[in-house]
Amino acid sequence: MEIWGYSIGSVIIVSVISLIGILALLWKSDVKKITFLLVSFAVGGLFGDAFIHLLPESFEEIENNLEIALLVLGGIFIFFILEKVLRWRHSHNFPKNKKQIHPMVTMNLVGDAVHNLIDGMVIGATYMVSIPLGMTTTLAIVLHEIPQEMGDFGILLQGGLSVKRALVFNFLSAATAIIGTILSLTIGPHIQGYTVALVPITAGGFIYIAGSDLIPELQRDVKMSRSLLQFGLIVLGIGIMAVLAALE
């Protein structure tokens, strides 16, 4: 029951983060600056969790190094394929009539729902391995979700939704993470090697997200002062994961 409590509590926090999009309206001109900082921090958090927590745990649980390598690569390719399939939902041909809802809105919500379902499964699976691993993985997901949810909120508004509807629908798509966690906790114990395999797959997914999605966003900014700030925040994210590992 303790694992269920931690898992459900964590995934609810992750789901509530979908409401952070309202900050985009409150701070308007500062949104890009805030997102820039959060993305840098998220890169460190994702890399830190993958290399400091998830991979060492995989080497403890799986004796075959080749199996670990293949599972990590599998995680990278799973997220690559998922992103390829859903990439076209980010079309920027927004409707001129604000009363018209762009089809992109539906695809954005569906894509996020699938992504959040997987996040929920990962949270549940890592808590089944250990509570500290579940906590650090949840933290890494939170760091990634904050800038993503702010961006998705903006897409929904541009696609024709009102502020209220954008918040509601974004929250509903985020809530699929709860379903994913329940699925993991329910079926995971009955599938041999479920958690053992999902940990390195998650590491691969985090490496892909940080390296393929987030770092290219940071590379667009070549100003020296901002680049140094990016580096500092990435190191900070990794440092927090290292401190958490030491405390374990």
pLDDT by residue (tens digit) across 106-121? Answer: 766 777 788 889 999 9
Rounded-to-integer distance, Cα 139 and Cα 240, Å: 10
- The closest of 44, 62, 58, 82 to 236, measured between CA atoms, is 44
Residue 94: pLDDT band with limits 50, 70, 90 = very low
DSSP H helical ranges for 130-175: 131-158, 163-174
Nearest 5 degrees, angle CA 207-CA 16-CA 128? 55
pLDDT by residue (tens digit) across 30-67? Answer: 556 667 777 888 899 999 999 999 999 999 989 999 99
Q: Which residues contact 225 (CB under 8 A, 6 or more apart)?
A: none
Q: For residue 149, is pLDDT > 50?
A: yes
pLDDT by residue (tens digit) across 3-28? Answer: 999 999 999 999 988 777 666 665 55
- The closest of 17, 2, 48 to 178, measured between CA atoms, is 17
Residue 167: pLDDT band with limits 50, 70, 90 = confident
Mean pLDDT confidence for 122-146: 91
Radius of gyration from C-alpha coordinates of the chain: 18
More confident residue, 102 or 78: 78
Q: For residue 93, is pLDDT > 70?
A: no
**Predicted pLDDT at 92:** 45
**Predicted pLDDT at 113:** 85
pTM, entire model:
0.76
- Domain range annotation of the chain: 2-18+33-247
